Amino acid sequence: MNEKDYIFEYKIDVRDYEIDAEGIVNNANYLHYLEHTRHEFCRHVGFSFAQMREQGIDPVLSRLEIDYMTPLRSGDTMISCLNISRRGPRFVFNQDIYRESDHSPVVKAVVTVVSLKEGKLTRGEEIAEAFKEYLEQ
C-alpha cells in the first residue's frame, strides 16, 4: 500500500462463514468483498446502487480478472482499495486487497463494469458525472 495511491480504501473483517473446508476464505467471497467495496465507494461519492436503480441505471460486470496471492483466514482484517478509469463506455476498477496485519497483497483485480438502461448499453454519463473527480486520466 506504500507503492501506490488509491482514491478509496475500505476496511472489511473476514466472517467465519466465508472460510471453506480448506481453512481459507473461499475464492468466490473475494468477489463479494470487491463488489461491496465498489458499492461503498459509490455511496461515498453520493450515487449509491439503490439510487442508480431508482433512475433505471443497471451497472453490470462485463469482465473480471483476479490474481489470488495471500489467502485470508479466520480473524483477518483486510484493507480493500480501488482506483477507477474510463475506457469508452467501460468503467475499469483496479481493486487491490491487502491483509491489514502485515500489508501482504491478498488479491489484485481488474473489474470492468458497463452501464445498462432498459437492458441497453449506455455510455454511462450519469455515473461518469458522479465519478468525475476520481477518474484517472
Which residues contact its own copies by CB under 8 A?
Answer: 15-17, 19-24, 26-29, 31-32, 35-36, 39, 43, 48-50, 53, 58, 60-68, 71, 73-75
Give DSSP secondary structure letters for 48-111: -HHHHHHTTEEEEEEEEEEEE-S---TT-EEEEEEEEEEETTEEEEEEEEEETTT--EEEEEEE
- Minimum Å distance from CB 58 to its own copies? 6
Exactly one of 20, 58, 76, 102 is catalytic; name it. 20
Determine the 3-state secondary structure of 64 from DSSP: strand
For residue 20, indicate whether it is catalytic: yes
Nearer to its own copies, 32 or 103 (CB): 32
Residue 93 DSSP class: E
- Minimum Å distance from CB 31 to its own copies? 4
- Minimum Å distance from CB 53 to its own copies? 7
Determine the 3-state secondary structure of 38 from DSSP: helix
- Which residues have a catalytic role annotated? 20
